[in-house]
Structures are given as structure tokens and as C-alpha cells.
Chains A and B, each alone.
Chain A
Amino acid sequence: MDEDAGSMSRVFNSGAGAIVTKSIGIKPREGYSNPTVVELGHGILNAMGLPNPGIDEFEDEIKNLKKAKVPVIGSIFGSNSYEFVKLAEKMQSYGTDAIELNMSCPHAKGYGQEIGSDPKLVKEITSNVKNSTKIPIFVKLSPNIMNLIEIAKEAEKAGADGIVAINTVKAMKIDLDLKMPVLSNKIGGYSGKAIKPIGIRCVYEIANNVKIPIIGVGGITTGEDAIEYFMAGASAVQIGSAVYYRGIDAFKQILNEIETWMKNHRYKELSEIIGVAKK
């Protein structure tokens, strides 16, 4: 629900405060063939393969969204600093309010996590993008790396305005009957309820090591899930898979649940709970 202006405005009208676009690259990409998504017991496994119409074709979608006054965070992926800079400049020129650098897709060769686990590359890309744009830059990190804290610190040093954590958890499902992986790409990323504790741990660890704001993501389906992320140190949250569990109204429902929880626990401002669980 993040590829075209119509869908993104529908999600915005369902209560989301801003929309993160599908990750956009330099050239059109069809993504992997199906099956690309399956539901498992406690989450959703996907390997879409970064399908996107390419940055040039995406201009119309952003412009239509901005006409409808929807706050947009343009997500981009590239294989090197040059591509990231080019994409960021274009996103900015289309009118996006911020940019998210996808350095965490777990299943696309040469992209995402392969870049986001190399501190030098993270630093180079983040600072080059930051120096060539004027809008806030967020770096989306993967939970599948051993040097998460080091990477988050590098992003901060390079001038990132925020860290987004986490992307999906690298995973696989084998069908017992067919004795083969279900996804056509075999390996995918796990999202939904099962990954929330992983996301909470990552946000908590990052929050203890950087000063820039963190956007928490991973398995949020209820208001209390979001509260948990706030306590771990997130200042905002992203929601995706909950659309499957609760429908597009998930955004409104989660907002209401956050408000109810805060009222019941006598909090007035979110800032009162952000990071309260930190050491």
C-alpha cells in the first residue's frame, strides 16, 4: 500500500501521520516472481525483491500526494553512494518532506543490508546524501547485523537526522509437503508480531548509544506495542504488517489505543514516556 499516490493517500486518511514510500531505485525493477508473501504462524514472510517503477516515473506519484498535502518520507535504495545521492536529490525535488535510506533490505543482492552492514559505506552514503540535500535524512537499519550499534553511531556521525529500526528479519519457510522453500527467492524477511521483541531490543540498544531520534518499527499491531517502542527510546513508529492483521483502519485504532493507554496512566505528552526504560 505504498507504491501509488491513491493508496498512500488512503492510508494517510486512515490515520497515519506520514507515509513512507515503497523503496525506489534508479531503474524500474519488477521484483521477484511469486510466491512473494506468505503468512506464517506469528508473522508474515516476504521477498518482494524491491519492485519499483524507478525514480523518474515516481515523480507523478509524489506530486499527486503532495497536492493532497500528505507528509511523505521518500524511501530510496541504491548500490553505491552515487546512486543514493541521485535518488535523494530527485526525491527532494519532487517535494518529499524527508528521505529514508534503505540500508536494510535482507534479500536483494548488492543492496540494503549488504550496504548497511559496512560502516564505511554507511558513513560515506549518509554524509554524501546529507551534503547534497536540505531535508531530514533517516537511515533504516537491519536487525540482521552484528555491528548494529557501530553502524548507528556511524550514521549519526555522518549527519543522519534519525535512525529507523528495524527492517525485516532474514528468514525462510520450507514447505513440508513439497520439501522446498515457499518463497520464489527462497530467503525473505519476516515481519509482524513475531519480530517485535527483536525490534524493541534494537531500538533500546541504539537509543543507549546515539542522541538522534529513532523511529521504531517491527511488529506493531496495537497501541501498547507502540508504547513499548516509545519506552525503548523511539520518538515515532512505522506500521506495515498491521494492515493485514487489522485492516487499513489499523492506524486509527492504534492511535486511539495509544491515547487510551496514556489517559489511563495519566500521561499528557508522549515525551514523558520516550526512553523511560533506558538504563
Chain B
Amino acid sequence: MNYPKITRIVRITKENPEVKTIYFENDEKAKPGQFFMIWIPGNDEIPMSVSFIDKKIKGITFKKVGDATKSLFNLKEGQKIGIRGPFGNGFKIKGKKILFIAGGTGIATITAAVEEAIRNNISSTVIFGVKTKNELFFEERIKKLGTEILISTDDGSKGYKGYATDLAKQTLKEQKFDQIITCGPEIMMKKLFDLSKNISLQASLERFMKCGMGLCGQCTVGNGLRVCVEGPVFDKNVLKDIEDFGKFKRDASGRKVKF
């Protein structure tokens, strides 16, 4: 039944001054790239991709950017939230060697995906791109896996100075990959799509979402593809036919907004 399950927050961790992870009980099977609809009673219900997957506990990681995430940020352990999901398709974590590229809060989604790749013994290289080093999080979670992690910052405060896409371009020259998995700003993902040439690519798209159950049509892209049902992860061969990709999204009223 697509009705929010009311549950108490079991744990909250602060990942950096603006990013927190909220853990809650949920025994559904979840895949990296899938998302939950999180109801903050009295405020809003928003989609959040899963950043921590355990049999009985799931986690979401978010930055305070708008009203809903700000009120989510202020919640305390033991407080009640409503959960629907997991929804959507999630990543297909396969291949011999995967290049994971996360931009900004896309790190939350990608980290869960990298953990699954390592569990499946798939060799992985990870790029985290942020504006400045204070925005970083989950670097330790990746390092614990023993996976190569490269950092890019726009201001050069840590790692490579410049965009994650430039670092990815360089990495693609140095190493051979058969799969790119990415989550982050759509402009970044579009650039990676253009860079990927003959390598497979999966990108997790973000759109304004309302029902989360494929009915309202708010989150559709291209020829009626619902990000909440057929997405949020789309393969390169589907992305190539989505004219919206990297160009525009829709606001709550359905108006087109350029990226």
C-alpha cells in the first residue's frame, strides 16, 4: 500500500556543517539509486535517495537547501517521520571496472552504489566533486572499502582543482572502464554522457516530484518517462532520446526551467 509508514528516527549523524544522515527502520529490499518519499509531518513530503542500506535500517543523506530539508535537518532522534518506498529502478551495478562520479550531494547516492560494487567484487574508481573541501562527506566510507578515491574542488582547497568532469576526462584517459555510474548536477552528468563515447553510462536524474507513484505526471521526462517509476536511473541508450536531459526541468507548476 502506497501510504506513509510512520516510524521514529533511530539515529542521526552530522556529515559536515550542512549535511546530515537520518537512519530509520525499514525492512524493504532497497537498491542503490532507489529513493524513499520522506514525509516531514506538517511540512512536506520529499524524495530522497537511499544512502545507507541494511536489512532492517535504511538511511538518507541530505543537505539543507530548502524549507523541507531545513526542517528535516532540525529533526531529533526519536521524532516521527513517514516513509513510502523504496521507489524507482536503482542502478544496475555490473561490469568489470566501474567509474563512479558524484557531484555535490550526489555523493550520498553514489556511496551506497560503490559499497554494493565492492560487495560484488567489481573494481571501482570513485570521483567526488564539490565546490570546496568543507562540502565533502563520506570520504572515509569509500576509503574503508579500499577503493581508489579522487577528489576535485572548484577552488582547489582539496585534490584536483577544477570540475569533476575534467578529472573524469583525465581518469578515462589513464584507466579503462566499461561502466560509468553518476549522480549529481545534470549539467555535469550531461558532460559525462558526452565524454563517455563507447563506455556504458547510468545517470540518476532529479526532478520535482509529487505523488512518487507514477500518477501525477509532475516528474516526467522525454516521451512520458516517469522519473519516479521508470527512473530515476536512466541508461545511456535511453538518455540519448530524452531531449530534456541537461537542458531543462519543470517547476512545481509544470513550467520548463533551463539548467
Contact = CB atoms under 8 A, between A and B. Distances in A.
B223 A37 contact: no
Given A33-B44, A39-B3, A177-B80, A3 B210 contact: no
Main secondary structure of the interface of B (DSSP, over half): loop
B198 interface: no
A68 B42 CA distance: 43
A36 B215 CA distance: 11
Interface in A235-257: 240-241, 243-244, 248
Contact of A48 (B37, B42, B216, B226): B216
Interface stretch (B54-62, B143-151, B247-255): B247-255
Contact of B45 (A6, A34, A243): A34
Interface string B23-40: 000000000000001010
Contacts of B17: none
A54 B256 CA distance: 12
Contact of A4 (B45, B80, B220): B220
A248 B221 CA distance: 15
B4 A34 contact: no
Nearest to A1: B217
Contacts of B250: 4, 53
A109 interface: no
A39 B254 CA distance: 23
A276 interface: no
Nearest to A4: B220
A270 interface: no
A229 B208 CA distance: 36
Contacts of A243: 214-215
Contact of A9 (B42, B82, B223): B223
Contact of A51 (B221, B222, B254): B254
Contact of A1 (B41, B45, B212, B220): B220
A269 interface: no
Contacts of A174: none
B1 interface: yes
Interface stretch (A78-86, A178-186, A205-213): A178-186
A4 B217 contact: yes
B46 interface: yes
Contacts of A57: 254-256
Nearest to B255: A53
Contact of B4 (A35, A46, A48, A184): A35
Contact of A28 (B41, B45, B212, B255): B255
A38 B254 contact: no
A48 B255 contact: no
A6 B255 contact: no
A2 interface: yes
B3 A40 contact: yes
A22 B218 CA distance: 11
A11 interface: yes
Contacts of A9: 223-224
A1 B215 contact: yes
Nearest to A45: B3
A240 to B, nearest CB: 8
Contacts of A29: 253
A178 B5 CA distance: 11
Given A44-B215, A48-B216, A6 B222 contact: yes
B2 interface: yes
Given A6-B220, A34-B210, A48-B210, A54 B215 contact: no
A51 B215 contact: no
11 contacts: A1-B226, A2-B217, A4-B220, A10-B223, A11-B224, A28-B254, A37-B210, A37-B211, A37-B213, A48-B210, A248-B224
Given A6-B222, A37-B211, 18 more contacts: A3-B220, A6-B220, A7-B226, A30-B252, A31-B210, A34-B44, A35-B39, A35-B45, A36-B211, A46-B215, A51-B210, A53-B250, A54-B255, A57-B256, A184-B45, A240-B215, A243-B215, A244-B215
